[in-house]
Amino acid sequence: QISEAEVALFSVSSYACQRRTTLDNHNSNLTDALSLLAENAELNNEDGRGVAFRRAAALMKALPTQVISMSQLRGLPCLGEHSLRVIKDVLENGVSSEVESTKQSKRYKALKILTGIFGVGAKTADRWIREGIYNLEQLRHSGQTLNRAQKSGLEHYDDLNEPVTKAEADAIGEIVQKAVDSVLTGSQVALTGGFRRGKLTGHDVDFLITHPEEGKEVGLMPKVVAWLESRGFLLYQKTTRNSYLESKDGPARPASNMDRFERCFSIFKLTKGKEQETASHKIWRAVRVDLVVSPISQFAFAVLGWTGSKLFERELRRWAGHEKNMSLSSHALFDNTQNKYLRATSEEEIFAYLGLEYIPPSERNA
Ligand code: DGT
Ligand code: MG
């Protein structure tokens, strides 16, 4: 029993972009459970449920101390009936029965294994499962036609499911910087994604490339990719062309979250340091790397949009739309009331336009 005095009543803002969420999580027992259910919902294409669990998990991540009793959660936003039931189960029994049965389920296990292949999403995995394919062995013998990405993903499955370290991200950063310097002097490379938020590991490495002179970045991606390819750094690459400027009515209001920068999805061949060499004597490993090129005029929006976390980004856009009548994307901020774009050269300016306190990357780990 805890006395009233011991019950800390937390006061927490309802949008994740109003909160400071560091990597220091005092409630990982609860957030792990909620995140697993979020992931399971996403794998089953139940996006609404996924977001609800993500919001609940993010709320728990932002609490300053460990929760030990349901009474401490009174009045907190973002906690739906279902999430509260899961939390109660964990607090009372140490585990959530729903999480445990999900983890054990044949379908969840198969979805995890199959979507662990680069290039395979929830829809493809679901189709394969309906055809009786539950693991890599069955997939390999199924005669399914795989696209180029999926073939590469299957070939490098173990490497790509091994977390990337910060040291590896930095090593790749040096290679990308060298490539960019060689093809266009003055170009800049920024590490974004989870590593910019201070994470020590990640599932991939995200880079944003720009040039201080507007327009100079045009045509940069193919040159960078060719440089990397000719030196044997790429095991796979697929570049998608920028479609932003191609839309007939110019840089129109950001209609969707789909981002229209020139982007390269790649698999890097990273030579290991001596100490990382394994028993197999393989001297390199495969690493997922995303390269994005942005014109300098959109760079601040691009950096903000690619730093994450995914939920933080989603909440920023929801805040912009619902609270400020603005549309935020990785390209621009449009004020629907004034009917104009708001220019920015730094993330700080964007937060200011949105009427939000500035949250540094290390506190965007929602
Ligand atoms: P990780 O890689 O698992 O350690 O975690 P993150 O946070 O680096 O996640 P990641 O790599 O999937 O994505 C990095 C950020 O980039 C994420 O917060 C959202 C953003 N992002 C990812 N894909 C897209 C996209 O297609 N369009 C836009 N606008 N943003 C994206
Ligand atoms: Mg990442």
Measured from the CA of 193, which atom of ligand 1 is nearest?
8
Query: Which residue, by CA, sits nearest to atom 28 of ligand 1?
Result: 259
Distance of CA 287 from the midpoint of ligand 1 (Å): 15
| Per-residue pLDDT tens digits for 255-313 | 444 567 899 999 999 999 877 766 777 899 999 999 999 999 999 999 999 999 999 99
CA distances from 24 to 27, 64, 309 (A): 9, 9, 15
Q: Please give the pLDDT value at position 252.
A: 46
The answer for residues whose C-beta is within 8 angstroms of residue 20's C-beta and 6 or more apart is 62, 359, 363
The answer for residues whose C-beta is within 8 angstroms of residue 57's C-beta and 6 or more apart is 30, 31, 34, 35, 38
Q: Please give the pLDDT value at position 6.
A: 52
Angle at 148 between CA 106 and CA 207, to 5 degrees: 90
Query: Which residue, by CA, sits nearest to atom 7 of ligand 1?
Result: 194
Measured from the CA of 312, which atom of ligand 1 is nearest?
18
Q: Please give the pLDDT value at position 246.
A: 42
Name the residue type at position 134. Answer: Y
Taking CB atoms and a 6 Å cutoff, what residues make up the pocket around ligand 1?
193-194, 199, 202-204, 206, 259, 305-306, 308-310, 313, 330
Spans of the chain, pLDDT less than 70: 1-8, 243-259, 277-278
Distance of CA 313 from the midpoint of ligand 1 (Å): 9
Q: Please give the pLDDT value at position 91.
A: 98
Q: Please give the pLDDT value at position 255.
A: 45
Report H helices in the chain. 28-43, 47-61, 81-93, 97-104, 106-115, 122-130, 136-140, 148-155, 157-160, 166-183, 193-196, 220-230, 299-307, 310-324, 347-353
Q: What does the DSSP 8-state code read for residue 21? A: B
Query: Which strands, in side-by-side order, build the sheet including 326-328?
Result: 326-328, 333-335, 340-341
- 361 by Cβ neighbours in 10 Å (0-12 / 13-18 / 19+) ranks as buried
Q: Please give the pLDDT value at position 102.
A: 99
- 284 by Cβ neighbours in 10 Å (0-12 / 13-18 / 19+) ranks as middle
CA distances from 33 to 60, 99, 302 (A): 11, 6, 32
Q: Has 335 been annotated as catalytic?
A: no
Q: Please give the pLDDT value at position 346.
A: 98
Distance of CA 308 from the midpoint of ligand 1 (Å): 6
One of 32, 89, 181, 290 is an active-site residue; which one?
A: 290
How far is 278 from 235, CA to CA, in rounded Å?
20
Residue reference for tokens 């390819």:
229
Q: Please give the pLDDT value at position 275.
A: 74
How far is 351 from 122, CA to CA, in rounded Å?
34
- Cis (ω within 30 of 0) for the bond into 327? no
Q: Please give the pLDDT value at position 89.
A: 98
Q: Please give the pLDDT value at position 244.
A: 54
| Per-residue pLDDT tens digits for 318-334 | 999 999 999 999 999 99
Name the residue type at position 135. Answer: N
Q: Please give the pLDDT value at position 1.
A: 54
Q: Please give the pLDDT value at position 181.
A: 98
Query: Which residue, by CA, sits nearest to atom 23 of ligand 1?
Result: 306
pTM over 0.90: yes
Distance of CA 10 from the midpoint of ligand 2 (Å): 31
User: Using an 8 Å Cβ cutoff, are 257 and 305 in contact?
Assistant: no
The ipTM assigned to this model is 0.96
